[in-house]
Amino acid sequence: MSPQPAPSEGGFVRHVVTFGRILREAGLEVGPGRISDALTGLDCLDIRNRDDVYWTLRTTLVSRAEELESFDRAFAAWFLRSPSRPPYRGTLPIDKPPRLSERTRTDRTGTDGRGGDEVTEIGWSRHEVLRRKDFAAMSPEEFAQLSKAIAEVAASRPLRRSRRLRPHSRGRTLDLRRLARRSLARGGDPIERTFRRRIEVPRKLVLLCDVSGSMEAYTRALLLFMHAAVGSGRGVEVFVFGTRLFRLTDEFRTRDPEEALAAAARRVVDWAAGTRIGASLKTFNDTWGRRALTRGAAVVIVSDGWEREDPALVAREMARLQRAAYAIVWVNPLKGNPEYQPLAEGMRAALPFVDRFVAGHNLASLEELAGVLAGIERRHAA
């Protein structure tokens, strides 16, 4: 398996190694192991056949479907040295937009670490006023004090019963493996009974957040909530939408919330613009729902329901979502106002498919949301 190059092929080896470096720059994870696989692979075939070289490099150097496009571009640029179309013809199931915008939406002056620490020292009770204060009405300083509390609230997750059995003293299923072993000492009499039972594990959680203009006052708080939810363990996916849908799970894996929000701002091109809820949900159902991401997941949609386009599309896509999801929670900051009525057409279209409808305009309501998520069951009345 050693990729020792024949002298005449030295140039080609260098070529492949450099190509690996280009791919790394394009964001692919190409370690020495993969390069070695590529070279060994190329050794097995006639490298004059350009198609086979392409497929060999692709099979050995790419490890996920999202990377195929970058790979094709790099391959065309490096090996073909032409902007011609590479052999890969398919359409990717992923919506990977170019990072067009460098626009960040809020100034981040008020959110340095100083204020955050204060919250834990002082405790919650003295912040009762802040707890009830609408996010939209907060000063940056007040907001900074709350960001840590938001993160704590987000850490609670809905549970589901795993199919895995674990030893448990009050279990219902006999643990035959232990039983047999323990009976050995007693001549085969199962005197000590051992049981197993199902344990509870976090349920998949899918968070979809509206970042359009009408939501601007709340996006920051809600995204902080989502960032903390991602940090709470595996199985959390975050998407945001305005006029189109973006997946931010990877950006939100960064521990530092400010860094995560900045990365998100670089990814998303239409902060504070219009809303196309139906179209965004459709993209979600088509690309992610089809891969069963939503199956059995608790889905949280954060939006005020102002749909610019066809509310019928919202209804249709909500119906699809509802069939796959375990439960749908809709968070609408406007609901914080006691006189709120779901008048927005998009909201009205979505409501029949929503299991729980909560506010999310201040810390207290986020606590309520966390409580709803922790105890969620299927098909609550909205």
Contact call for residue 343 and another protein (CB under 8 A): no
Pairing of strands 205-210, 298-302: parallel
Residue in the structure block whose two tokens are 């791919």: 23
Of 34-42, 100-108, 219-227, 353-361, the window that binds another protein (rule: CB under 8 A) is: 34-42
> CA 186 to CA 357: how far, in whole Å?
58
In contact, 375 and 326? CB cutoff 8 Å: no
Taking the complex as a whole, the smallest distance from the CB of residue 296 to another protein amounts, in Å, to: 9
Find the shortest distance in angstroms from Cβ 72 to another protein: 11
Closest CB to another protein among residues 132, 291? 291
| Position 129 contacts another protein (CB under 8 A) | no
Closest to another protein by CB, 334 vs 349, is 349
Packing angle of the helix pair 140-154, 216-231 (nearest 10 deg): 40
Tell me which residue of 367, 373, 381, 302 sits closest to 335, measured CA to CA: 302
Do 147 and 112 contact (CB within 8 A), yes or no?
Answer: no
- Binding mask 197-236 vs another protein (x if CB under 8 A, - otherwise)? -------------------------------------xx-
Buried b (16+ CB within 10 A) or exposed e, 251-276: bbebeebeebbebbbebbbbbeeebb
Crossing angle of helices 216-231 and 363-374, in 10° steps, is: 40
For residue 81, state whether it binds another protein (rule: CB under 8 A): no
* Position 295 contacts another protein (CB under 8 A): yes
**Could you say whether residue 44 binds another protein (CB under 8 A)?**
yes
> From the CB of 45, what's the least distance to another protein, in Å?
6
Which tokens is 65 given? 């479907």
Distances (CA, A) of 106 to 44, 220, 285: 55, 8, 30
Is 163 a binder of another protein (CB under 8 A)?
Answer: yes
Residue 320 found at the interface with another protein (CB under 8 A): yes
What the block records as the tokens of 162 is 């795993």
Per the CB < 8 A criterion, the answer to whether 244 and 280 are in contact is yes
Query: Measured from the CB of residue 301, what is the shortest distance to another protein in angstroms?
Result: 19
Side chain identity at residue 90, one-letter code: G
For residue 78, state whether it binds another protein (rule: CB under 8 A): no
Three-class SS state of 239: strand
Print the binding letters for residues 165-184 with another protein: x by CB under 8 A, - otherwise.
Answer: -----------xx-xx--xx
Please count the helices (runs of H) and the strands (runs of E) in the chain. 14, 9
CB of 282 to another protein, least distance (A): 8
Contact stretch for another protein (CB under 8 A) within 98-106, 131-139, 186-194, 371-379: 186-194
Min CB(166)–another protein separation in Å: 10
Binds another protein by CB under 8 A, chosen from 10, 11, 25, 65: 65
Q: Does 48 bind another protein (CB under 8 A)?
A: no
- CB-based contacts of 263, cutoff 8 Å, min separation 6: 251, 254
Task: Tell me which residues touch another protein (CB under 8 A).
Answer: 1, 29, 31, 33-34, 37, 40-41, 44-46, 51-52, 55-56, 58-60, 62-65, 68, 87-90, 93, 162-164, 176-177, 179-180, 183-184, 187-188, 190, 234-235, 285-286, 290-293, 295, 316, 320
